[in-house]
Structure 1
Amino acid sequence: MGKLDGKIALITGGSDGIGLATAQRFIAEGAEHVFITGRRQQALDDAVKKIGVKNVTAVQGDTSNMADLDKLFNVIQKEKGRLDIIFANAATCTFAPLGTITEKHFDDTFNVNVKGVLFTVQNALPLLVDGGSIILNASTSSIQGDPALSVYCATKAAVRSFARCWTVDLKERKIRVNTLSPGAIDTPLLRSLGTSEEENKMFMASWQAATPMNRIGTPDEIAKVVVFLASDDSSYVTGIELFVDGGLAQI
């Protein structure tokens, strides 16, 4: 018996990193079917091969694009007709110190990290069963001030606020909404923040040094916590922000 036996799940940003690791965990825990999204078709195709089972559907699209979301939910409606779990994981992050922030940087970051999360969840509601679970992927940046990341931090604070409000909005349907806030996790996104390989190594070393556990986390360590929040193991948990950060934002 798996913790997610018979469940239908949607994972946005599922082609690599945390999203891919979570899809693999969901399948291992008995999920009946997992839908994953991503903007790059080749990355999605590679993800499906890595997962290696037939009960995964990859739908290419941008969560901040309403037409792409319509396409996604049409596919889910046609193939399965319901959702039990939503993991709103898709996100973007780039540096921009105050004084250099452009309108494009602001729009690009908020469109994916805030607009995309909002309309992914809202458009999924007709398919989401009563008693379902919604997990929003935020960050330790929701409560910290990170240099040159003020726009990104603001988006993650907004995601945290969504979880609080939607917990109340959806309580009559017994849908639980929780926020997951990872620390420094070894993902392609984290390793791409610098402008050079040397700068990326410097960033990784600084995050490791700032983490009380003295290491960078793995995507699978986050995926295990997503399984907890998606399953009946967390049946009395809603509205929280669960930090999975090796102590980075706690000490």
Structure 2
Amino acid sequence: MNTLEGKIAIVTGGASGIGRATALTFARAGARVVVADIDGPGAEATVEQIAAVAGDKAAVAVRADVSDSDDCRRIVQTALDAFGALHVLFNNAGIIRRTTALDLDVEEWDRVMAVNVRSVFLMCKHAIPAMTEGGSIVNTGSGWGLKGGGNAISYCASKAAVVNMTRALAIDHARAGIRVNSVNPGDTDTPMLRDEARQLGEDWAAFQTDAADRPMGRSGTPDEIAQAVLFLASDAASYITGSALVVDGGGLA
């Protein structure tokens, strides 16, 4: 049941990291995928990787800003135009600013909220009416959406919003056959994690050591998060909605 054979999926933030790994995982599981990202060349590169494992017609790329309503509508329409339906939405696009409230510009706060929170609302607003056969939505939260973290006020606030918005969406749309869950990674070896080290002015090797300070003794990989997303997206999770699945090597525990 852990398959997406015959399903159509959208992955936002699909140019790198967890988004790219999940787009590839979805394609290997039988889905056709719309890869959306503000990084157009990165999204195209993901589509090329998908073509190598699932064929030339398995994916299309869309350059889009998911904080913009028209762009979100266009992403959904691309899925309908290219593949004729929509069954899975993975809201993964996100950014982080590692700073306290005192050092955070208002414009930076607004941008984090736009990319991390507004985008989830907009994508769901436009995608849910297209899910005429029911579907599954997975939103990327974070361990820091369930507990606090230092020097990351806007990120923590935004991911907490995603986790609770997920619950509200699950309640509202369950009778339409649409499940909505969040996946909540811990530190995962992605370009965003490396950018965090840069923002904090920390040596990458030392930052990795700190990230590994959890029961399993290491940070996660994008492929490991992608497998959790695949589970939530698939019929293997048919009775799961409104849940916040933590995938963090035991860090939150």
* Same fold by TM-score greater than 0.5: yes
Contact 2:187 2:193 (8 Å CA) reproduced: yes
Deviation at 1:98, TM superposition (A): 2.4
Q: Which of 227, 230, 235 lines up with 1:232 in the alignment?
A: 235
Does residue 169 of structure 1 match 2:172?
A: yes
CA shift, 1:203, in A, is 1.9
**2:177 & 2:83 partners in 1: Cα distance?**
21
User: What secondary structure sits across from 1:36 in the alignment?
Assistant: strand
Name the CA distance, whole Å, in 2 between partners of 1:12 and 1:155. 17
Which letter does structure 2 place at the counterpart of 1:37? Answer: A
Residue 198 of structure 2 aligns to a residue in which SS? coil
Listed one character per residue, the Cα deviations across residues 82-128 of structure 1 (whole Å, up to 9, x for unaligned) are 21111100000111212112111111100000001110111111211
Q: Which residue of 2 aligns with 1:206?
A: 210
Tell me which amino acid in the other structure corresponds to 1:133. Answer: S
Match of 1:6 in 2: 6
What secondary structure is seen at the aligned counterpart in 2 of 1:99?
coil
Deviation at 1:141, TM superposition (A): 0.5
What SS is found at the alignment partner of 2:77? helix
1:99 counterpart (74, 98, 102): 102
Q: Does 1:194 align with 2:194?
A: no
Root-mean-square deviation (Å): 1.5
In the other structure, the counterpart of 2:26 is 26
Unaligned segments of structure 1, at least 5 residues? none
The counterpart of 1:86, out of the listed 81, 84, 89, is: 89
Alignment of 1:125 onto 2:124 = no
Code of the residue aligned with 2:9 in structure 1: it is: A
SS of the equivalent of 1:50 reads helix
Deviating 4+ runs (over 4 angstroms)? none
Distance in 2, matches of 1:92 and 1:118, equals 16
Cα distance between partner residues in 1 of 2:45 and 2:144: 30
Residue 42 of structure 1 corresponds to 41
Structure 1: distance between partners of 2:108 and 2:25: 33
Q: Is the contact between residue 2 and residue 30 of structure 1 (CA under 8 Å) also seen in structure 2?
A: no
What is the percentage of aligned positions where both structures have the same residue?
A: 37
* Residue of structure 2 equivalent to 1:72: 75
- Give CA deviations for 1:129-182 in whole Å, capped at 9, x if unaligned: 343111111000012211110110010000011111111110210211111100
Native 8 Å contact 1:192 1:200 kept in 2? no
Q: Does the alignment pair 1:109 with 2:108? A: no
Contact 2:35–2:46 (Cα < 8 Å) also in 1:
no
Moved more, 156-165 or 78-87: 78-87
Contact 2:73/2:123 (8 A) holds in 1:
no
Letter in 1 for 2:16: D
Matched, 1:158 2:161: yes
State the SS of the aligned residue for 2:148.
coil
Secondary structure of 2:132's match?
A: strand
> 1:188: how far off?
0.8
- Cα distance in structure 1, aligned partners of 2:152 and 2:77: 35
The question of whether the paired residues in 1 share the 8 Å contact of 2:97 and 2:154 is answered with no
Q: Secondary structure at the match of 1:136?
A: strand
2:244 to 241, 244, 247: 241
- Corresponding pairs, count: 248
Structure 2 contact 15–35 (Cα < 8 Å) conserved: yes
Counterpart among 218, 222, 226 of residue 219 in structure 1: 222
CA distance in 1, matches of 2:78, 2:235: 27
2:139/2:166 contact within 8 Å kept = yes
Q: Take 1:70 and 1:169, find their aligned partners in 2: how far apart are those partners?
A: 20
- Report the Cα distance in structure 2 between the residues aligned to 1:217 and 1:109, rounded to whole angstroms: 23
Q: Deviations over 1:39-64 (max 9, x none)?
A: 11221222122222321011001100
